């Protein structure tokens, strides 16, 4: 038997997520393997805002929190997964897992990392990177000279959207919640940056792009979205990626309904889940790896050392504690 540490849901989230919502327990994992089975030990874990919403439908009290991890095979009776192999798997907030059925346990394909850090398979080369790549390029369809707005721009997805937009020859306007993050965005090449907590949003959007925006990649939602749509150009394209400003709300906000702006400006507004492009992820991973090596994409990780810090890292997502991707490493 192998002892696995597991973070379980202590109680259903009620309003703002708290570290006290979770329990750390131990489970025994059998190391008695049958043909085709193998045992993994996690090296890196991810926390992402979607876990706040996914939990509502999929996780009950005392169950393991969901999420991806990068893990190493430590025992194996599977010729395709020898000891030492690295896997990306949706095993959740746990240290050790016995893999019996790869499809049912959602063992995914690892990208070609070569000399890149393994943790990037959970960030720039993983789900957030593919969210930025496909969610922006496929839905916003940027053209050289377009003006692009990205909110939550210092987060795991937003900073990559802005950098991809620069690669495509766009003017990029980004916002973040503190001055250090704004400074980093300027270092990444964003043309205009502002701290949304210290400005009148509508005035800041107008100042940054007096003629309006061709593309808007939305990570925040609610009032920000309603305000930004007023500054879109005719036939603008809007990619709805996240609504993090509302994930902790007990009731949906009652704000200004933006449908007249959508109608009058004839906007294309589309929400998405990145899983729709999963069969094409290798395409996005290849481009991202090339851009990283060419220096066109820069990445930053906020790393929490130690599995015991997973709830702290998760809560930090909603407090703006992370710059770039939040990663927990063993």
Tell me whether residue 261 is in a domain.
Answer: yes
232 shares its domain with 306: no
- Asked if the model's pLDDT at residue 98 lies above 80, the reply is yes
User: Between β-strands 107-108 and 192-195, what pairing exists: parallel, antiparallel or unpaired?
Assistant: unpaired
> Could you tell me if residue 51 is inside a domain?
yes
Q: Are residues 106 and 146 in the same domain?
A: no
Does one domain contain both 180 and 259? Answer: yes
Q: Are residues 25 and 145 in the same domain?
A: no
When pLDDT is averaged across residues 58-85 and rounded to a whole number, the result is 94
Whether 317 and 178 share a structural domain: no
Q: Are residues 137 and 270 in the same domain?
A: yes
b/e for 185-213, b at 16 or more Cβ within 10 A? beebebbbbbebeeeebeebbeebbeebb
Same domain, 118 and 158: no
| 94 shares a domain with 66 | yes
Residue 215's CATH number: 3.40.50.720
Query: Predicted confidence band at 54 (pLDDT cuts at 50, 70, 90)?
Result: low
**Domain boundary at 258, 275, 292, which?**
275
Question: How many folded domains does the chain comprise?
Answer: 2
Yes or no: say if 208 and 186 are a contact pair by the CB < 8 Å rule: no
204 and 168 together in one domain? yes
Q: Check whether residue 31 and residue 166 sit in a common domain.
A: no
pTM above 0.85, yes or no: yes
> Which DSSP string corresponds to 114-181?
TTS-GGGGGTTTSHHHHHHHHHHHTTT---TT-EEEESSTTBTTHHHHHHHHHHTT-EEEEEESSHHH
pLDDT at 99 over 70: yes
- Report the run of H or E that residue 286 belongs to, with start and end: helix 281-293
> Could you list the residue range(s) of the whole structural domain that residue 164 is in?
127-275
> Residue 30: what pLDDT?
95
pLDDT for 8: 96
In a domain, 30, yes or no: yes
Residue 139 falls within a domain, yes or no? Answer: yes
CATH classification of the domain holding 50? 3.90.180.10
Residue 289 included in any domain: no
Domain annotation covers residue 284:
no
CA-to-CA distance for 240 and 217, rounded, in angstroms?
6
Distance between CA 323 and CA 219 in Å, rounded? 14
- Among 7-16, 76-85, 163-172, the range scoring the smallest mean pLDDT is 7-16
């Amino acid at each position: 038997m192998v002892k696995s540490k597991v973070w379980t849901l202590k109680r259903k989230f009620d309003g703002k997520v708290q570290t006290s919502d979770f329990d750390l327990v131990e489970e025994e994992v059998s190391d008695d393997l049958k043909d085709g089975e193998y045992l993994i030990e996690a090296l890196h874990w991810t926390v992402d805002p979607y876990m706040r919403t996914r939990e509502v439908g999929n996780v009950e009290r005392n169950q393991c929190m969901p999420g991806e991890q990068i893990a190493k095979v430590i025992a194996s009776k599977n010729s395709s997964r020898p000891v030492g192999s690295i896997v990306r798997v949706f095993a959740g907030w746990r240290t050790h897992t016995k893999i019996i059925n790869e499809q049912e346990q959602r063992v995914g394909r690892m990208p070609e990392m070569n000399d890149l850090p393994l943790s990037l398979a959970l960030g720039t080369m993983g789900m957030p990177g593919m969210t930025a790549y496909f969610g922006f390029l496929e839905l916003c369809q940027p053209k050289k000279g377009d003006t692009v707005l990205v909110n939550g721009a210092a987060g795991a997805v937003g900073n990559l959207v802005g950098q991809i937009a620069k690669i495509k020859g766009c003017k990029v306007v980004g916002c973040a919640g503190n001055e250090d993050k704004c400074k980093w965005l300027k270092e990444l090449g964003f043309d205009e940056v502002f701290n949304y907590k210290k400005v009148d949003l509508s005035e800041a959007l107008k100042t940054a792009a007096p003629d309006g925006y061709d593309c808007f990649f939305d990570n925040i939602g609610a009032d920000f979205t309603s305000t930004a749509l007023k500054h879109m150009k005719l036939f603008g394209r809007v990619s709805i990626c996240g609504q993090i400003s509302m994930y902790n709300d007990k009731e949906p906000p009652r704000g200004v309904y933006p449908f007249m702006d959508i109608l009058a400006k004839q906007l294309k507004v589309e929400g998405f889940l990145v899983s729709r492009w999963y069969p094409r992820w290798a395409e996005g991973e290849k481009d991202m790896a090339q851009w990283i090596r060419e220096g066109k994409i820069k990445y930053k990780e906020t790393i929490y050392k130690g599995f015991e810090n997973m709830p702290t890292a998760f809560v930090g997502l909603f407090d703006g504690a992370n710059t770039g991707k939040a990663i927990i490493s063993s």
